[in-house]
A and B are shown apart, each in its own frame.
Chain A
Amino acid sequence: MDDEALRARVRAFLAAHWSAEDRHDPVAVRRFRALATEHGYLFGWVPRELGGSGTPGQPLAARVIAEEFAAVRAPGEPDGMSVAMLVPTLLEWGSDEQRRRFVPPTLTGELTWCQGYSEPTAGSDLGSLRTTAHADGAGWEITGTKIWTSGATEASHMFLLARTEPDTTDRSGLSYFLLTMAQPGVLVRPLRQLTGQAGFAEVTLAGARTTELVGERGRGWEVSRSTLRHERSMVGGPARHERLFAALLRLASTPRPDGTTALADPLVRDELVGLHALVEQQRLAGRLRDSGDSGNLLPLTAKLAGTVIAERVSALALRLLDTDVLHGPDRTRWLHQWLGSLGIAIAAGTSNVQRDIIAARGLGLPS
């Protein structure tokens, strides 16, 4: 089917089954997603027997669908950690039984996941982590501390890396596990972020139990790579930039007490157009990737490019807020974005780690 025919079909489906007023009603959203999946518009990359629509189409088709859904604010595939990161990893590495047990309820939102990677002494040098997993016949006993774990207070499950080979200190001795959070050996202590909100947590694993090893023992690093790959494309996702830019444009268009708008300032317009170019080129870069027109460099730069956008948006927003930063109506949202752009620069591999990866793998520089 060509683009335009597909577009027309998607529009007709949305007109018949979606109303934007329903977007805050979780039941309606869940029902709509199930219907959209049944019609093959969502989760085409997930097999039918695992709760997807099993229509692995072209990426271009997925993009057309995503654009049409976004145009009427219909819920697409959730872009959180659970669906965007764990499901692809399980499809690649999980046993048949693990896929059957964990993929369908993750797609529906029944199971939610947090990521047990970072530790107090293992951040950028993730491969040096110290949490251990010990096999005792009945399964695995896991002991150690995970930290800066986003969403740990709400998650029903954690996917994590732990050391199964005691004589190792590097990435070679790690394995990848799935763990239930609601058990005696798991203690979650919320940590507040710079925004003042408890967005992440410290998770103490004191003999936590699991039987779910994903992939082979000792190959956890390899398994985790596919999760991180999905995390980076998530953080660098163009839809996120477009929403952020639209909000910034609204801020710039809001009349100030003296009746003027920041948008009337030629310097502000100049910076906004500069940002618009960055957002637009990331959107188009997705299409370049889909049409195979990018080589391996472009995907590796997506996260750092997203960070640049978030940081430039935050700088302009701060300028537009003016003294409202101290105490004003728009303060909280943009202060959180200004601070949050620092979080983006750190989460899922800091910007300096991204640069190391781009230099080594994208540019092939010898170390």
Chain B
Amino acid sequence: MTGLDDAQWALAALLHETLPALLPPARLAAILDADTDEDPASWRCLTETGVLDLAVPVAGGGAGEGVLTLAVAAEEAGYAAVPGGFLGHVLATLTVDPGGRRATVALGQVLPDARRLTGTVPFVPGGHAAELVVVATAAGLSVVDLRAGGALVEGAGGVDPTRRLGTLVLDGAAHEPLPGGPARVGWLVDAARVLLAADAHGGARRCLDLAVAHARDREQFGRPIAGFQAVRHQLADLATAIAPGRGLYRLAAGHLDSGADRAHTAAALAKAHLSEVFLTAARDCVRLHGALGYTWDGPVNPWVGRALFDHALHGTPATLRRIVADGLGWG
């Protein structure tokens, strides 16, 4: 249930090898202050390696993979701090074949009227570059063509400059309902939670690696600070919090792929825990870098924003733990 097949292993290894090299500290720092979170080099890599089409059905030229494979990619995207609309696009591909177009999801609000789509939906990732958006209505999921009029994504900003959020404004937009009914809305939100949990685990791993590398390089009192027991113990505690985390999102992803009832609780548990560990890791990583860590265009900042994003989008840990308690019958 938590194990990967050979292709998934290979995907993780490939992305681990390529993505961080495409996103060196200077490039990430530049994105923090740029007008857009678009990064052509890493997007091209995701396109060429087939990551963006992983969940597209085989008939549509994709790989027909599920949430687990996407989550494996999301962990590596989190490790590398991949900017832009990866999350929204791959979530959309779980429900619709975008036919080569850029897509995203707008799940921040369920639209009450499924016939005439009107109103605003907050927290749309990668919306400014998208041509298609999957929205949630009382009747289920629907897909809206952003080029057809009656719908646009406004603004792009928020707590994570590497993944900016826009607001979808609908004014009687034409839409095409997708199969699955209202249950499919909940399923897609759960999938979003799993991908955020995987991103958080990858981000936390990167914070640990950054802090370890800094401790080895940085010399004070005539020797690397990695030699000081206080630093070593902080790093060991952080490693202990992070090392076992992968199983939580893998289990939830497997449940979503098999349609198991437990998926809802497992997804909430994974995101609650792993996003909280990521916040801790980001803060510890800042502390261990000293003033360099507290610098805007320093090496840690991209993951601070990402940790806050993973923490808050689609349910904070406190909200998600209530879902888990209810799901386990403790309510």
Contacts and interface: CB of A to CB of B under 8 A. Distances in A.
Contacts of A285: 243-244, 247
Nearest to B272: A277
Interface in B284-323: 318, 321-322
Contact of B245 (A272, A281, A283): A281
A301 interface: yes
Contact of A293 (B3, B215, B248, B269): B3
B237 interface: yes
Main secondary structure of the interface of B (DSSP, over half): helix
Contact of B240 (A263, A277, A358, A364): A358
B330 A277 contact: no
Contacts of A282: 244
Given A272-B330, A359-B232, A287 B1 contact: yes
Interface stretch (A118-126, A132-140, A326-334, A348-356): A348-356
B310 to A, nearest CB: 15
Nearest to A299: B243
Nearest to B227: A367
A7 interface: no
Main secondary structure of the interface of A (DSSP, over half): helix
B254 to A, nearest CB: 11
A283 B1 CA distance: 12
A365 B318 contact: no
Contact of B233 (A276, A284, A352, A367): A352
A362 B236 contact: yes
Contacts of B245: 281
Given A269-B325, A276-B269, A287 B235 contact: no
Nearest to A297: B243
B248 A280 contact: yes
B227 A284 contact: no
Given A288-B247, A298-B243, A270 B215 contact: no
A274 B321 contact: yes
B203 to A, nearest CB: 17
B244 A288 contact: yes
A19 interface: no
Nearest to A294: B243
Nearest to B2: A287
Contacts of B264: none
A45 B52 CA distance: 45
B226 to A, nearest CB: 4
Nearest to A278: B273
B243 A263 contact: no
A305 B237 CA distance: 9
B235 A273 contact: no
A304 B321 contact: no
Nearest to A271: B321
Contacts of B182: none
A276 B330 CA distance: 12
Contact of A304 (B236, B247, B251, B331): B236
A103 B244 CA distance: 33
B323 to A, nearest CB: 9
Contact of A284 (B235, B251, B324): B251
Nearest to B327: A273
A333 B273 CA distance: 29
Contacts of B331: 269
B26 to A, nearest CB: 26
Nearest to B269: A277
A291 B251 CA distance: 14
Contacts of A283: 247
B239 A362 contact: yes
Most buried by B among A281, A294, A364: A281
A257 interface: no
B133 interface: no
Contacts of B273: 274, 277-278, 281
Contact of A359 (B1, B233, B251, B322): B233
B216 interface: yes
A284 B236 contact: no
A356 B272 CA distance: 29
B319 to A, nearest CB: 10
Interface string B255-273: 0000000000000010011
A277 B3 CA distance: 19
Contacts of B243: 285, 294, 297-298, 301, 305, 362
Contacts of A244: none
Contact of A291 (B3, B232, B235, B248): B3
Given A281-B247, A294-B243, A308-B240, A366 B226 contact: yes
Interface in A12-67: none
Contacts of A5: none
Contacts of A297: 239, 243
Nearest to B251: A284
A50 B46 CA distance: 55
Contacts of B233: 352, 355-356, 359
Given A263-B330, A362-B239, 16 more contacts: A270-B321, A277-B248, A285-B247, A287-B1, A288-B244, A288-B246, A291-B2, A298-B243, A301-B239, A305-B243, A352-B233, A356-B232, A358-B239, A358-B240, A365-B235, A366-B227
22 contacts: A270-B321, A272-B325, A273-B269, A273-B330, A277-B248, A277-B269, A277-B273, A280-B269, A281-B247, A284-B247, A284-B248, A285-B244, A288-B2, A293-B2, A293-B4, A298-B243, A363-B236, A365-B215, A365-B227, A365-B235, A366-B224, A366-B226
Among all A-B residue pairs, the 7 with the closest Cβ atoms: A284-B247, A285-B244, A359-B232, A277-B273, A355-B236, A358-B236, A273-B321
Interface of A: 249, 263, 266, 269-270, 272-274, 276-278, 280-285, 287-288, 291, 293-294, 297-298, 301, 304-305, 308, 352, 354-356, 358-360, 362-367
Interface of B: 1-4, 212, 215-216, 224, 226-227, 229, 232-233, 235-237, 239-240, 243-248, 250-251, 269, 272-273, 318, 321-322, 324-325, 328, 330-331
